[in-house]
Amino acid sequence: MEAWLQHLITQSLAWSLLAVGLIAFFESLALVGLLLPGTVLMASFGALIGSGQVGLYPAWGAGIIGCLAGDWISWFIGWQFKGPLHRWSFIKKHQALMNKTEHALHQHSMFTIIVGRFVGPTRPLIPLVAGMLELPLKKFIPPNLIGCLLWPPLYLMPGILAGVAIDVPKDAHSDGFTWLLLAVALLVWLGGWLCWRWLRAKKQSDWATSYLPAARLRWLAPLTVVVALGSLAAIQFHPMMPLFRHLLWQVFIGR
């Protein structure tokens, strides 16, 4: 996939931005997003942004347009075909998830629409369910705009950090620096994931529940966060870190 993206970029910047927009569109489109590995694809583009081959802000803009198009089409599909959709076997197969989404939209529509965009299984379902529930556009569009504005850079960021790390010049101090960055990033992600599970311990039950019961998460999640923050602070003193921060800043100012 990354080779395909590289080929698009060498052909035309417009093609690369179209690819970002299409990835965001299909990742947001009703039910299709359940099957598309959009997180991996966005991270791949992020790496190309970090290495300077694609501009951050054009890619961000393309991602926003793709998100909005996918969400609004999904809302229209849910509103227009709510009757047949309720009888569709695919919907019935995911009925438990649909019921949870409906309940969340009834209780806290704005919060659900914003947060749901960043949760893989619910991202392509919430606009569809909102349409099926005939949620007014004045309640759907504002939180949807916020979510679509924030989603692209968040999902591009892991790849951007990786692309910048790869671009760090090799010298005597750079040995192992990329691996250290990766380890710190994984610790930060793990800390956030464990805290998320801890907050939802009473509502969430899946493959990890037996390994991570609430009693264990009560001490494991804060401990992991402390270790992650300590590692993040410690790596700031690495000799290569000033150069890494400079290269990362160049991405954000549009080098």
Q: What number of CA atoms fall less than 13 Å from residue 18's CA on the CB side?
A: 7
Q: Token pair of 10, please? A: 């060498």
Residues 41 and 148 in one domain: yes
Mean pLDDT of the chain: 82
Q: Token pair of 186, please? A: 């994984």
CA torsion 213-183-9-24 (nearest 10°) is: 20
Q: Give pLDDT, residue 207.
A: 62
Residue 96 structural domain:
2-168
Residues 127 and 173 in one domain: no
pLDDT at 122 over 60: yes
Q: Give pLDDT, residue 6.
A: 56
Number of domains into which the chain is organized: 2
Give residue-wise pLDDT tens across range 31-77. 787 777 777 788 888 888 888 888 889 999 999 999 999 999 999 98
CA pair distance 155, 24, nearest whole angstrom: 10
Residues 163 and 187 in one domain: no
Q: Give pLDDT, residue 64.
A: 95
Residues 40 and 142 in one domain: yes
- Burial of residue 82 (number of CB atoms within 10 Å: 0-12, 13-18, 19+): middle
Single pTM value for the model: 0.81
Q: Report yes or no on 250 lying in a domain.
A: no
pLDDT at 173 over 60: no
pLDDT at 160 over 80: yes
Question: Which residue in this structure is represented by tokens 């750079």?
Answer: 174
In this structure, are residues 47 and 1 in contact, taking their beta carbons and an 8 Å threshold? no
For 238, left (φ over 0), alpha (ψ -120 to 50), or beta? beta
Q: Report yes or no on 63 lying in a domain.
A: yes
Give residue-wise pLDDT tens across range 90-111. 666 766 767 777 777 877 788 8
